[in-house]
Amino acid sequence: MESDLCEKVDISRIEIERVDGLPSKARVSSIEAANRVLDSWADSPPESGAGECDFQIVFEDGFRYRGHYRLNKSQKRISLSRYVRKQLTALASAKNVADLVKASGLAIVGTPCDDPAESARIALAHYNI
């Protein structure tokens, strides 16, 4: 029974849209598939700009996490989950949360809390990212 309380909510789908370069959209059902899409897009950078995309992770209970990802082929390995955890950790411990949310374009939808820092802590604790 106790292990049921510790299980994290899984991802239902991930939607990714390339912001610059070749117009592209993808809808996948796992972080691994999202990483493959992002890696593929990083292989074909736009003629100008860095190659950026917006993404939304939707979890099975309706919780949503939206963000912006800069494609960078020089990374050893693209990891959307590492990126999201890093963003959530920064948000959870930020002193000036409003500025961080504004600067990063993060959006956390579906938590029972209006405080972005507390929402980030909830996401890290309860969602399989």
Q: What single letter denotes the amino acid at residue 28?
A: V
What pLDDT score was predicted for residue 58? 95
> Whole-number mean pLDDT of the chain?
82
What pLDDT score was predicted for residue 30? 97
Higher pLDDT, 103 or 85: 85
User: Which phi-psi region, left, alpha or beta, contains residue 27 (left: φ > 0; alpha: ψ -120 to 50)?
Assistant: beta
Closest C-alpha among 98, 7, 13, 113 to residue 64: 13
pLDDT digits 0-9 by tens, 29-84: 999 999 999 988 888 766 655 688 999 999 999 888 999 998 876 667 899 999 99
Contact status, residue 54 vs residue 68, Cβ threshold 8 Å: yes
What pLDDT score was predicted for residue 94? 76
Contact status, residue 119 vs residue 113, Cβ threshold 8 Å: yes
82 vs 35, 51, 86, 96, 128, CA distance in Å?
Answer: 11, 19, 6, 22, 12
* pLDDT over 50 at 102, yes or no: yes
Contact status, residue 71 vs residue 42, Cβ threshold 8 Å: yes
DSSP state of 61: T
What pLDDT score was predicted for residue 27? 98
Contact status, residue 65 vs residue 80, Cβ threshold 8 Å: no
Higher pLDDT, 58 or 112: 58
Q: Which contacts (CB < 8 Å, 24+ apart) does range 69-75 have?
A: 69/16, 69/38, 71/38, 71/41, 71/42, 71/45, 72/42, 73/42, 73/43, 73/45, 75/42
